[in-house]
Amino acid sequence: MAFVVFEGLDASGKSTLIKSVEEVLRQRNISFTTTREPGGSPLADKIRELILYPGDEIPCAKAELLLYQASRAQHVDKVIKPAIDKKEWVLCDRFTASSIAFQAGGRGIEVNEVKKLNEFSIDGNEPHLYILLDLEVSESAKRIAGREEKNRLDVEKTEFHEKVRQSYLSQAKEDPKNWLILDASKPTKNMLLEVISCFEERNYL
């Protein structure tokens, strides 16, 4: 089994790639759980709504970070850990690296504070692999503009998203053993081939 996390800017194509990976696992009779953050369990989904659509009172940066972490702790306890215990694969759309990219990189919270909270929330359930769908901010913005529904983070300034992208790239550079960087301007089928060969090299498949 493997616990694989997909990360990247909004509209980088994570959901479509995850669907293609699911298809590969299905063809090989591999059981898996697909999940996402923020959210992933009923309570964590309620926290997701609070974070992304808070109404009139916008959470301050620290409250926002803690809401993501509350969602994560619940999600790990109720969904991810049980799947790992059953030896299922876990495909997760965003995880701890998003908090480092958005709350430390984007919002400017001290990175070690975010890392400490990540550790506290995941309780040792570390992913085996992070897959970064790297995309130019301008391309991500173009794709988001075509969407009907936009959340609070989608409409942040270009500068914010640039910091998020740079944080992802430096996280991947600092820990190359655990990261695969994909060029998300390429078609999904090309990215999928890279993902499968990475899984094979790591003996996941």
Q: Which of 34, 35, 74, 99 binds ligand TMP (CB under 6 A)?
A: 99
Minimum CB–partner distance for residue 205 and ligand TMP (Å): 26
Residue number with CB closer to ligand TMP (103 or 188): 103
* Between 152 and 202, CB nearer to ligand TMP: 152
Q: Does 165 bind ligand TMP (CB under 6 A)?
A: no
Which tokens belong to 152? Answer: 């609070």
Q: Give yes or no for residue 37 binding ligand TMP (CB under 6 A).
A: yes
Mark 42-71 with x for binding to ligand TMP (rule: CB under 6 A) and - for no binding. --------------------------x---
90 binds ligand TMP (CB under 6 A): no
Long-range Cβ pairs for the range 170-174 (8 Å, 24+) = 171/97, 171/100, 171/101, 171/130, 172/130, 172/132
Residues 118-147 that bind ligand TMP (CB under 6 A): none
What one-letter code names the amino acid at 65?
A: L
Q: Which of 180, 165, 191 is nearest to 106 (CA)?
A: 165
Question: Residue 179: enclosing H or E segment and its boundaries?
Answer: strand 179-183
Instruction: Please name which of 129, 103, 118 lies closest in space to residue 198, comparing C-alpha atoms.
Output: 129
Which position's Cβ is nearest ligand TMP?
A: 102
Q: Where are the alpha helices (DSSP H) in 28-136?
A: 42-52, 61-75, 81-85, 96-98, 111-122
Element housing 129 (H / E): strand 129-134
Query: Cβ of residue 98: shortest distance to ligand TMP, in angstroms?
Result: 3
Footprint on this chain of ligand TMP (rule: CB under 6 A): 10, 36-38, 68, 94, 98-99, 102-103, 151, 153
